[in-house]
Structure 1
């Protein structure tokens, strides 16, 4: 387990310069809308070299498991991934979030329904989101995100969304 955690940490540190390059040194803003609840967040989540705790709490709530009404502290690096991909795409549209945090019970139920759901999903750690960006094809988004090598990228073309996470760089 320690080796796996160390690998995740090393991969995350390697992604930090790429995020900084994509987003620059100024404030980082993000807009998201949760598909199931219609709730939104739009605003600055990083300013003056640090994450804004109030914004992170709001994002945690919007990305909660809506079936369980359970939130978890999301890894703020996920928001960096979303912001960097959005910037590279040249979009100012809000991300549509299909799935953010998943309680272990929710993830287990989904894994029983579909082999495409990992039983050790990073959604349970607050490190992943399944998203759409209006006006952008899922294949185009997945290609750009994979090229940026900021974390995991999954293409679910039939369902019209991509999976983005701040874990090790990989794709499927």
Structure 2
């Protein structure tokens, strides 16, 4: 898996770490998920569990590139060591279908169902500024939900809304 230029520019070949706090469950994980030129499988399993669909208590393997997006945005914001607060990570198809019936803002083919997206906040950081920094890096999709105080980040095609 090739490292995107923005990730390589920020981290080079060095370690990549992340801190995640899941708002719905109160669970947290903090550690290095990339070192010695590869992803750490045990750390990825821990991240998968914290990012699970709490409604279904169902986890899926998250795309590790999502953590690269989060870590890179965080580094560009000068917020290393701060925890991302996850509003939504993986969504089971049933959960996504229910949410898309409740709101037009939820895609029926959401990358959340593939473990490729997260809706997140960084405490004390402006969501508009986070979205701008993420969009400039062209690492994936960036959605701004100012009224709700979070942004959507994914490791799919670069786009914004």
Instruction: Check if 1:39 corresponds to 2:27.
Output: yes
SS in structure 2 at match of 1:136: coil
Please, which runs of 5 or more residues in structure 1 have no aligned partner?
1-11
Q: Distance in 2 between matches of 1:141 and 1:165?
A: 13
Report the Cα offset of residue 17 of structure 1. 2.0
Q: Distance in 1 between matches of 2:143 and 2:52?
A: 20
CA RMSD of aligned residues (A): 1.1
1:32 and 1:97 in contact (8 A); partners too: yes
Instruction: Check if 1:65 corresponds to 2:53.
Output: yes
Which residue is 2:69 aligned to?
81
Of the three residues 131, 136, 144, the one matched with 2:120 is: 131
Q: Distance in 2 between matches of 1:74 and 1:93?
A: 21
Deviations 1:88-121 (A, max 9, x none): 0000310000000000000000000000000000
Deviations 1:64-91 (A, max 9, x none): 0000000000000000000000000000
Q: Distance in 2 between matches of 1:73 and 1:150?
A: 20
Name the TM-score, length of structure 1 as normaliser.
Answer: 0.91
Deviations 1:20-49 (A, max 9, x none): 112221111000100000101100000011
Name the TM-score, length of structure 2 as normaliser.
Answer: 0.97
Please, which runs of 5 or more residues in structure 2 have no aligned partner?
none
Task: Kindly report structure 1 stretches of 4+ aligned residues shifted beyond 4 Å.
Answer: none
Q: Distance in 2 between matches of 1:21 and 1:41?
A: 25
1:23 and 1:83 in contact (8 A); partners too: no
Q: Distance in 1 between matches of 2:131 and 2:100?
A: 22
SS in structure 1 at match of 2:20: strand
Q: Distance in 1 between matches of 2:72 and 2:44?
A: 17
